[in-house]
Chain A
């Protein structure tokens, strides 16, 4: 690691102000940032440790739940309110990383983690996300783990989070605070962005803004949800494809459905086409497959990841079937 100094901040606004200084990075759980600093992918002259800011509370608010940005992943997944009312979120968090990492990583940090694209990590390789203008090593390289949707010629990387896939399906909002102390809410699906010609920007945070909370709306489909993660090994691996599914049925018809996918795009991918195709239909496997096909027909596979199109279809069908109560 290149030399940096370390200090602690106990106030989100002061931390936000500090983050505007050149070379300053905010340090939360550190599970991604420290690794990137070790690899020389990220650079910092000063780390401002924000982990002792009192922003870890999880509480009911307006019929929903407000999660402080510094709540640990493990504490969120195991919080009784979350387990009871948003089991989809608990499941998704528990599908990510390892227990040790979930004990360290914060929820705000989970949103801020960078892609695990190997070309982003390898500083000997070109990468528009790491050094804009150098090209994309993955576009014509080994791209098995890369995007199916929303990629651009400048970047085909995917967002690595599981938790964020559930938050996209749950229609959460991200509460952020600026260096001037002003707060604003960002709908979760607008928080992360597609690469376009600026893949260095992962999200829509403005300079000096910090995440202070995640807000979950009133719980829906608590009884009918499922997070399915498909990966190269059974545990402790990033998703090839993952699906967060939630259903509400009435009179044998799907009233409401939420589907989001991980491992397929630069941001958690809300499967809007599949959702549209399923509303008003009977929750049968045949209809789930039609919905999955409606979504996946828009996939644009790369050289090595075409298998994820079929995999994605099957994952959607299985996640919906499990959400609907199949064993």
Chain B
């Protein structure tokens, strides 16, 4: 049977022997301890340092070897040790259910959802905050799960595309996206819909946007230009934008909408643009 405690003890013993062999003694061990590395990583650091010859300074003192170890470790240690070394246990409210999950501190919410909880509705697009495919709602607000550490939202509530429908009843935005055929490949769709849910809540509370003519006034009725600007964080590679806008417009206005488009005219300006209405 595998016994992690036994393994830990073995590492520590090996570490002590190795420290003495390499002539860096307890000072070397202390430097690595300050780097907050788990025992196994510390062991690997020594082992790798020895292999690459960090300690092979002819006629060096212990202090010089310790210094060499520190310099080397600071620049190389993270690269030298593969795999998950440290775990944090988090408790998230995902779509109303409490989920406990153990993750490496580096795990972003997106990967925690997809890889650790098996909820693959949230999509990984660019993984760098440039496309919006990974949009989820945290405490009701739309955020990018690829740039949120899972640890940052410990204890908070997360809503993903899987949590929008009530049983067999789709969320109005899900229904509208189907009705308006607001996708082609569908990869950006979960992010688009979660983003739209957050966006319509923001609009209800009177939030302004960059195309709002006077931010001093509160406005809660959105033109299509407002919808476009407010949804600009969600990229659709297939270019289903006109249908996405009409689907959102329909849910926002409660009136049947159809998609419209127009060629840009030179005399159009961002602020003077005829507010293209779909109703």
A residues near B, CB below 8 A? 1-6, 22-23, 27, 30-31, 34-35, 37-39, 43, 45-47, 49, 51, 74, 77-78, 83-84, 87, 90-91, 94-95, 97-101, 103-104, 222, 229, 234-236, 322, 327
CB nearest neighbor in B for A80? B218
Assembled-state Cα–Cα distance A221/B128 (Å)? 38
A234 & B270 in contact (Cβ 8 Å cutoff): yes
- Comparing B77-85, B161-169, B181-189, the segment that makes contact with chain A is B77-85
A22 & B74 in contact (Cβ 8 Å cutoff): yes
Name the B residues within 8 Å of A327 (CB-CB).
Answer: 271-272
- Specify which of A27, A95, A101 is in contact with B233 (CB 8 Å cutoff): A101
- Specify which of B35, B88, B152, B216 is in contact with A30 (CB 8 Å cutoff): B152
B144 & A100 in contact (Cβ 8 Å cutoff): yes
- Specify which of A46, A83, A322 is in contact with B208 (CB 8 Å cutoff): A83
Identify which of A30, A37, A229 gathers the most chain B CB atoms within 10 Å of its CB: A30
**A-facing residues in B113-147 (Cβ within 8 Å):** 127-129, 132, 135, 141-144, 147
A3 & B144 in contact (Cβ 8 Å cutoff): no
Assembled-state Cα–Cα distance A1/B128 (Å)? 12
| B7 contacts A by Cβ under 8 Å | no
A289 nearest CB across to chain B (Å): 19
B149 & A5 in contact (Cβ 8 Å cutoff): no
B132 & A98 in contact (Cβ 8 Å cutoff): yes
A2 & B78 in contact (Cβ 8 Å cutoff): yes
B229 & A235 in contact (Cβ 8 Å cutoff): yes
Name the B residues within 8 Å of A39 (CB-CB).
Answer: 128
Name the B residues within 8 Å of A77 (CB-CB).
Answer: 208, 215
B152 & A1 in contact (Cβ 8 Å cutoff): no
- Specify which of B79, B141, B205, B271 is in contact with A2 (CB 8 Å cutoff): B79
| B207 contacts A by Cβ under 8 Å | yes
B271 & A27 in contact (Cβ 8 Å cutoff): no
B77 nearest CB across to chain A (Å): 8
Known: A27-B152, A83-B216. A104 touches B143 (CB 8 A): yes
Secondary structure of the A contact surface, majority rule: mixed
CB nearest neighbor in A for B86? A5
3 interchain residue pairs of minimum CB distance = A98-B233, A2-B78, A235-B232
Assembled-state Cα–Cα distance A27/B205 (Å)? 29
Known: A45-B36, A104-B147. A235 touches B129 (CB 8 A): no
* Residues of chain B at interface, number, CB under 8 A: 52
Assembled-state Cα–Cα distance A22/B36 (Å)? 11
Name the B residues within 8 Å of A49 (CB-CB).
Answer: 149, 151-152
| B198 contacts A by Cβ under 8 Å | yes
Name the A residues within 8 Å of B78 (CB-CB).
Answer: 2-4, 43, 45
**A-facing residues in B55-99 (Cβ within 8 Å):** 74, 78-79, 81, 85-86, 88
Assembled-state Cα–Cα distance A39/B86 (Å)? 21
B86 & A3 in contact (Cβ 8 Å cutoff): yes
Assembled-state Cα–Cα distance A43/B149 (Å)? 16
Known: A3-B85, A91-B215. A98 touches B143 (CB 8 A): no
B35 & A99 in contact (Cβ 8 Å cutoff): no
Assembled-state Cα–Cα distance A168/B106 (Å)? 35
| B195 contacts A by Cβ under 8 Å | yes
B210 & A94 in contact (Cβ 8 Å cutoff): yes
| B236 contacts A by Cβ under 8 Å | no
CB nearest neighbor in B for A96? B210
Name the B residues within 8 Å of A87 (CB-CB).
Answer: 214-216
A205 nearest CB across to chain B (Å): 22
Name the B residues within 8 Å of A5 (CB-CB).
Answer: 36, 86, 105
CB nearest neighbor in A for B104? A3
Name the B residues within 8 Å of A104 (CB-CB).
Answer: 143-144, 147-148
B105 & A6 in contact (Cβ 8 Å cutoff): yes
B173 nearest CB across to chain A (Å): 16
B195 & A99 in contact (Cβ 8 Å cutoff): yes
> What are 16 A-to-B residue pairs whose CB atoms are below 8 Å?
A1-B106, A3-B41, A3-B104, A6-B88, A6-B149, A23-B35, A31-B144, A34-B148, A47-B105, A78-B207, A90-B208, A90-B215, A94-B210, A98-B232, A222-B216, A327-B271
- Specify which of B81, B85, B129, B209 is in contact with A101 (CB 8 Å cutoff): B129
Assembled-state Cα–Cα distance A83/B205 (Å)? 14
| B199 contacts A by Cβ under 8 Å | yes
A100 & B233 in contact (Cβ 8 Å cutoff): yes
Assembled-state Cα–Cα distance A6/B230 (Å)? 33
Assembled-state Cα–Cα distance A91/B129 (Å)? 22
| B171 contacts A by Cβ under 8 Å | no
Assembled-state Cα–Cα distance A100/B74 (Å)? 35
B106 & A3 in contact (Cβ 8 Å cutoff): yes
**A-facing residues in B223-272 (Cβ within 8 Å):** 228-234, 270-272
A38 & B127 in contact (Cβ 8 Å cutoff): yes
Given A35-B128, A222-B216, 13 other A-B residues pairs in contact with their CB atoms under 8 A: A3-B105, A27-B149, A30-B147, A31-B129, A38-B127, A45-B78, A78-B205, A90-B208, A94-B210, A94-B215, A99-B198, A104-B147, A327-B271
Assembled-state Cα–Cα distance A94/B147 (Å)? 20
B226 nearest CB across to chain A (Å): 11
